[in-house]
Amino acid sequence: MNIKRHGAALGLVAASALLLSACGSDNNAQRGDTAAANSANVDCGGKKELSAEGSSAQTNAIQEFVAEYAHICDGFNVAYNPTGSGAGVKQFIGGQVDFGGSDSPLKESEVEKAMQRCSGNPAWNLPMVFGPVAVAYNLPGMEGLVLKPDTIAKIFNGGIKKWNDPAIRELNSGANLPDKNIVVIYRSDESGTTDNFQKYLQAAAKDSWTQGVGKSFKGDTGEGKAKSQGVTDGVKATEGAITYVEKSFADAANLGIAKIDSGAGPVELTDEAAGKAIAAAKIKGSGHDLVLDLNALYASKEPGAYPLVLVTYELVCSKGYDAETSKAVKAFLTTAATSGQDNLTKVGYVPLPQEFRTKLLDAIKAIA
Amino acid sequence: MRTALRPRAGSGGGSATAPHTPEGPISTPNIAQSRPVRRPGDRLFRGAAVGSGVFIVALISAIGLFLLLQAIPSLRANQVGFLTSGVWNTTSATDLQFGILYLLWVTVATSVLALALAMPISLGIALFLTHYAPRRLARPFAYVVDLLAAVPSIIFGLWGIKVLAPTLVPVAEWLNHNLGFIPLFAEGNVTIAGGGTVFTAGVVLAVMILPIITAVSREVFERTPREHIEGALALGATKWEMLRTTVLPFGKAGYVSAAMLGLGRALGETVALYLILSATTAVPELSFFDGGATIASKIALGAAEFNNPLTAGAYIAAGLVLFLLTFVVNALARAVVAGKKEYA
């Protein structure tokens, strides 16, 4: 009943918003504003209901994109099933879904199979969703903690055990660091966040982080908690704890977020700083296959850039879709790369910088 | 039955040459007459009952077989001893390393702690409900206890880590401080202040299995023969002496099997422990104040990324161990119950 009533109310709001915008008067329906500016670029049509599956790290972003897509292209929808990157790749290759979502680009062994799925055309990895990862801590009275990648690596592999370790004191001169044990809290479930965090440490602090990468934590220290909410709660409950978690979770729990000094001064985690790192990222893939060079991105010493971001891709066929599917996929991705980005901050992601959107749009246009 | 009571007409006459008399139907052979009548209802019910029995046995065997078949390839590819190692590294299918040892320890430790806490309390509740509480109060009170069993385990998990764990911290710290010389209460790899310990998990599990043990024990204690109780009282026994000499000996086997039922639940509990326990990568201490993962919670942690059959098989092998463990526990409970004359 409630849903119906809300639905009716929503419908009314939408209808009146349309009416108002048609009259040329300004309206306060937020999505209406952004849509009006961008809807001209999106060529709606094709298959009404697209299906996609994969990475759970981008679920909220995709939901935002879908809401925007449904708003711009009335009656169109994308069903995204967040079952994990592995499943996303498998289902995409198997032709079960129209596009896949994954925390990592297709591996060499998968590229061949993806080509078969796309009737002999290469599949492209399009990095559409970037999640900033915070190094969040709970240390009462300590604000604006500064850490170097090297220090972070040593904390997370047990090399630094105390908050008043000289390595931390050196970076935070003047701060009152307690003689307290550092409690490292990590993700005990397999996760893309852990994978990206370890890749970051390996790239940015390769002398200190020798444990390798992977979806499970390799640091051999601390205690594990399930899911982002679990690690956030764990840090919240334990004085002296530190973890890596998506920024939105750290913000919601009011945890301290460390500034990272990659060599050009401490950088606070903001949309601009993360966007700057993304804008400077190099592309490793050829042509429109926009695989990012994560090593270069993570090791970046660019001033004012915050390079610790989780990169997730959409896996699409460059060619080989039927005409209906192709049209809808292009419409959806175009929405995602334009007005879909505008509300991403609210749900905990970094909106893509302008020049990066252009690259993505070029690739999307080239899909046939 | 009616047929059997009729006189056997055919046997006296001796003439097999009088076949088509009106009494013909009665003169059927002996065997047919002595057989009890089978109505369709009998056959239907017998079929349904046998079917259900066969079905459940087949189902259990199928589950066991499935687990075994799925686990074998992974066990073959395993680089370390499955029963003797504790490492768990299944991300790469070419270098599978998984051992059950640490998981088994945490599983058993949480369950046994839960049992140790829940058994005396359940006994108290069951005796109170059957012999102390006023009749009018006993019924609603029993319902309330049963209601505990209806709370979903995710609620227990969230309550355990967010509400109970912080309140238990002083208790845990006191135990650790004063009894720390006993290995079971020594400091582990996770912080006691964080609360994600075997100790917290055990307490939450105890609350979860309390209603099961209580409900079964209550039923058993209620069935103590009146004559025993009255006999004891007539001989001058006080209430406590009566309970000790009649109710407890009579209900002991039932109580133990109730506890085993609870233990079975505790061993397999997943979501609550998934939320409560802090994982560690270090070798666990044999202490209640260490973390880890149980077999079931480990499977839940890995479930999102079963990307290849070998990885999945490693978890299934762990599941197989849990399956066997529960089986053994139940068999033990049966043995205890079967050993008692009252239930034979």
Q: Which of A34-48, B8-22, B208-222, B304-318 has the highest mean pLDDT?
A: B208-222
Q: Is the Cβ–Cβ distance between A131 and A310 less than 8 Å?
A: yes
At A141, the pLDDT band (50, 70, 90 cuts) reads confident
Which positions in chain A touch B306 (Cβ < 8 Å)?
Answer: 86
**Where is pLDDT greater, at B22 or B163?**
B163
Supply the pLDDT for residue A57.
81
Distances (CA, A) of A11 to A6, A15, A18, A71, B295: 8, 6, 10, 11, 49
Which positions in chain A touch B196 (Cβ < 8 Å)?
Answer: 223, 225, 234
Supply the pLDDT for residue B10.
44
**Where is pLDDT greater, at B33 or B176?**
B176
Average pLDDT, chain B: 85
In a domain, B272, yes or no: yes
Q: Is the Cβ–Cβ distance between B88 and B183 less than 8 Å?
A: no
Supply the pLDDT for residue B45.
94
Supply the pLDDT for residue B20.
52
Backbone angles phi, psi at A137, to 5 degrees: -140, 165
Task: Compute the average pLDDT of residues A243-265.
Answer: 91
**Where is pLDDT greater, at A23 or B46?**
B46
Note down the domain range covering B292. Answer: 102-302+326-343
At A69, the pLDDT band (50, 70, 90 cuts) reads very high
DSSP B210-261: HHHHHHHHHHHHHTS-HHHHHHHHHTT--HHHHIIIIIHHHHHHHHHHHHHH
Distant-in-sequence, close-in-space partners of B32: CB < 8 Å, separation ≥ 6: none
Distances (CA, A) of B197 to A30, B110, B284, B289: 47, 9, 11, 5
Find the closest chain A residue to B272 by CA distance: A226
Q: Which of A27-41, A211-225, A282-296, B313-327 has the highest mean pLDDT?
A: B313-327
Residues of A with CB under 8 A from a CB of B: 56, 83-87, 90, 183, 185-186, 188-191, 214-217, 219-226, 230, 233-234, 237-239, 241
At B23, the pLDDT band (50, 70, 90 cuts) reads low
Task: Compute the average pLDDT of residues B153-176.
Answer: 92
Length of chain B: 344
The residues with which A259 forms a beta bridge, in sequence order, are A146
Backbone angles phi, psi at A350, to 5 degrees: -95, 125
Residue A173 among known ligand-binding residues: no
**Which of A85, A86, A225 is closest, CB to CB, to B196?**
A225
- pLDDT of B95 higher than 90: no
Which positions in chain B touch A191 (Cβ < 8 Å)?
Answer: 304
- pLDDT of B224 higher than 60: yes
Tokens representing A185 are 């809290």
Q: Is B234 on the interface with A (CB under 8 A)?
A: no
Supply the pLDDT for residue B204.
96
In a domain, B38, yes or no: no
What CATH number should be reported for the domain holding residue B286? 1.10.3720.10
Task: Compute the average pLDDT of residues A40-69.
Answer: 87
- Write the ipTM: 0.72
Supply the pLDDT for residue A348.
84
| Domain count along chain B | 1
Which positions in chain B touch A190 (Cβ < 8 Å)?
Answer: 91, 301-302, 304-305
Supply the pLDDT for residue B88.
86
Supply the pLDDT for residue A331.
92
Domain boundaries, chain A: 25-131+313-366, 133-278
In a domain, B88, yes or no: no
pLDDT > 90 fraction of chain B, expressed in percent and rounded: 53
Closest CA to B320 of B63, B96, B76, B12: B63
- Measured between alpha carbons, how far is A305 from A311 in angstroms, rounded to an integer? 15
Query: What angle, 0 to 180 degrees and rounded to 10, lies between the N-to-C axes of helices B198-222 and B248-268?
Result: 140
The C-alpha of A203 sits at a distance from chain B's nearest C-alpha, in angstroms, of 20
In what helix (H) or strand (E) does residue B320 lie, and over which residues does it extend?
helix B309-338
In a domain, B149, yes or no: yes
How would you classify the pairing of strands A99-102 and A146-147?
unpaired
Considering only A294-303, B201-210, B215-224, B303-312, which range has the smallest mean pLDDT?
Answer: B303-312
Task: Return the residue matching tokens 């209550």.
Answer: B218
- pLDDT of B145 higher than 80: yes
Supply the pLDDT for residue B6.
47
Class of domain A25-131+313-366: alpha beta
At A18, the pLDDT band (50, 70, 90 cuts) reads very low
For the domain spanning A133-278, the CATH number is 3.40.190.10
- Measured between alpha carbons, how far is B239 from A344 in angstroms, rounded to an integer? 70
Task: Return the residue matching tokens 């200190």.
Answer: A208
Ramachandran category for residue A320: left, alpha or beta (phi over 0 → left; psi -120 to 50 → alpha): left
A25-131+313-366 and A133-278 have identical folds: yes
Task: Compute the average pLDDT of residues B91-105.
Answer: 87
In a domain, B292, yes or no: yes
In a domain, B188, yes or no: yes
Mutate to test the interface with B, among A181, A216, A223 (most CBs of B within 10 A): A223
Supply the pLDDT for residue B340.
60
Residue A322 among known ligand-binding residues: no
Backbone angles phi, psi at A123, to 5 degrees: -90, 145
Which positions in chain B touch A223 (Cβ < 8 Å)?
Answer: 189-191, 194, 196, 278-280, 291
Q: Is the Cβ–Cβ distance between B70 and B62 less than 8 Å?
A: no
Average pLDDT, chain A: 85
Mutate to test the interface with A, among B98, B162, B281 (most CBs of A within 10 A): B281
**Which of B278, B282, B300 is closest, CB to CB, to A225?**
B278
The distance from CA B11 to its chain's CA centroid, rounded to whole angstroms, is 59
- pLDDT of A150 higher than 50: yes
Work out the burial of residue A101: count CB atoms within 10 Å of its CB; fewer than 13 is exposed, 13-18 middle, 19 or more buried. buried
